[in-house]
């Protein structure tokens, strides 16, 4: 009769180590997929919000604002606050950004049509030298390099650089057959403006440049992999 042979402690230890390594790799891969999905979702939300603002302006015959807060700060108990955005219907046609309260966005009588907060792994920002100039026919939209004028700040060319609402910006879609867009704090460009959505996994950055054309209010996006 053949003697049955079990596993030695060394073999069991090796198997356990292999399983632990595979499990760790799987956790890292799943985390990366989840964060990349959050980046894609955040980008889609912003593009969708801008297009919603444009279409609502056309359909309702009123100005509609897309407002973005790009700040990363801390709340009253020290927790980090992420960038956020709103789509706001200018009900009375007299929206005043200097009086607007982001903590109570409808306090002036305007209507919030949509809003959102960015995931913790995603920011509205751009590394030095980015975004680069876009391909034709969008190359006149301000960017960090390759266009004149250059975007200031480079990550959001229409965001404010001082005052009560530093690092905030708005895009106003005026009602009409092709709702034109105007911008707060915009770098002087009659063509359009942009903002960037960034995800950095520690080894590689992914950045989506979202552009808004001034004449038609059309919105588009183009990824720049760093």
Residue 65 or residue 203, greater confidence: 65
Whether 3 is covered by a domain: the verdict is no
Residue identified by tokens 């999905």 is: 37
C-alpha–C-alpha distance, residues 107 and 40, integer Å: 32
Residue 186 covered by a domain: yes
Those residues with Cβ within 8 angstroms of residue 120's Cβ, 6 or more apart along the chain or in another chain: 80, 82
- Kindly state whether residue 4 falls inside one of the protein's structural domains: no
Residues 76 and 70: their CA atoms lie apart, in Å, by 18
Q: What is the pLDDT of residue 80?
A: 58
Instruction: Grade residue 26 by pLDDT with cuts at 50, 70 and 90.
Output: very low
Share of the chain above pLDDT 70, in %: 81
pLDDT at 25 over 60: no
Confidence of residue 4 (pLDDT cuts 50, 70, 90): low
pLDDT of 201 higher than 80? no
Tell which phi-psi region holds residue 30, choosing left (phi > 0), alpha (psi between -120 and 50) or beta: alpha
Which tops the pLDDT comparison, 85 or 7? Answer: 85
Q: Which pLDDT value is given to residue 60?
A: 92
pLDDT at residue 140 above 50?
A: yes
Average pLDDT over residues 90-116: 94
Which pLDDT score is estimated for 159? 97
Q: Supply the pLDDT for residue 204.
A: 76
Work out the average pLDDT over 126-135. 93
Contact 5, 169 (CB under 8 A): no
C-alpha 156/C-alpha 178 separation (Å) is: 23
Q: Report if residue 153 sits inside a domain.
A: yes
Query: What pLDDT score does 28 carry?
Result: 46
CA distance 53 to 156: 18
Cα 207–Cα 211–Cα 217 angle in degrees, nearest 5: 155
DSSP string, the chain: -PPP----HHHHHHHHHHHHHHHHHHHHHHHHHHHHHHHHHHHHHHHHHHHHHHHHHHHHSS-EEEEEE---EE-TTS-EE--EEEEEE-TTS---TTT--TTSTTTTS-EEEEEEE--TTEES---TT-SBPPPTTSTTS--SBSSSSPPSSTTBTTS--SSTTTTEEEEEE--SSS--EEETT--S-SSEEEEEEEEE-SS-EEEEEEEEETTT--EEEEEEE-
Cis amide linkage into residue 24, ω under 30° from 0:
no
- Classify residue 79 as exposed, middle or buried by CB count within 10 Å of its CB (0-12, 13-18, 19+): exposed
Q: How many domains does the chain have?
A: 1
**Contact indicator for 73, 92 with CB cutoff of 8 Å:** no
In a domain? residue 182: yes
Residue 199 lies in a domain: yes
| Domain around 144 | 9-225
Q: What pLDDT is stored for residue 30 in this prediction?
A: 44
Is residue 2, in this structure, part of any structural domain at all?
Answer: no
| Average pLDDT of every residue of the chain | 86
Within a domain: 208: yes
17: pLDDT strictly greater than 80? no
Render pLDDT for 73-101 as a digit per residue (tens, 0 to 9): 655 555 557 899 999 999 999 999 999 99
Q: What is the mean pLDDT of residues 147-157?
A: 94
Is it the case that residue 131 has pLDDT exceeding 50?
A: yes
């Amino acid at each position: 009769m053949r003697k049955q042979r079990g596993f030695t402690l060394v073999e069991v230890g090796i198997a356990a180590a292999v399983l632990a390594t595979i499990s760790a790799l799987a956790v890292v891969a799943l985390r990366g997929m989840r964060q990349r999905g959050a980046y894609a979702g955040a980008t889609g939300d912003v593009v969708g919000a801008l297009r919603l603002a444009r279409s609502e302006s056309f359909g309702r015959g009123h100005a509609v604002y897309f407002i973005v807060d790009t700040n990363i700060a801390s709340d009253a108990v020290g927790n980090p606050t992420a960038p956020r955005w709103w789509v706001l219907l200018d009900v009375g046609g007299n929206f005043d950004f200097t009086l607007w309260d982001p903590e109570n966005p409808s306090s002036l009588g305007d209507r919030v049509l949509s809003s959102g907060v960015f995931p913790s792994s995603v920011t509205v920002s751009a590394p030095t030298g980015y975004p680069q100039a876009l391909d034709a026919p969008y190359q006149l939209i301000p960017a960090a390099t390759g266009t004149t004028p250059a975007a200031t700040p480079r990550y959001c060319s229409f965001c404010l650089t001082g005052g009560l609402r530093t690092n905030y910006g708005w895009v106003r879609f005026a009602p009409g057959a092709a709702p034109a867009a105007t911008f707060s704090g915009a770098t002087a460009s009659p063509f359009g403006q942009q903002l960037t959505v960034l995800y950095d996994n520690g080894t590689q950055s992914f950045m989506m440049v979202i552009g808004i054309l001034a004449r038609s209010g059309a919105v588009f996006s183009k990824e720049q992999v760093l």
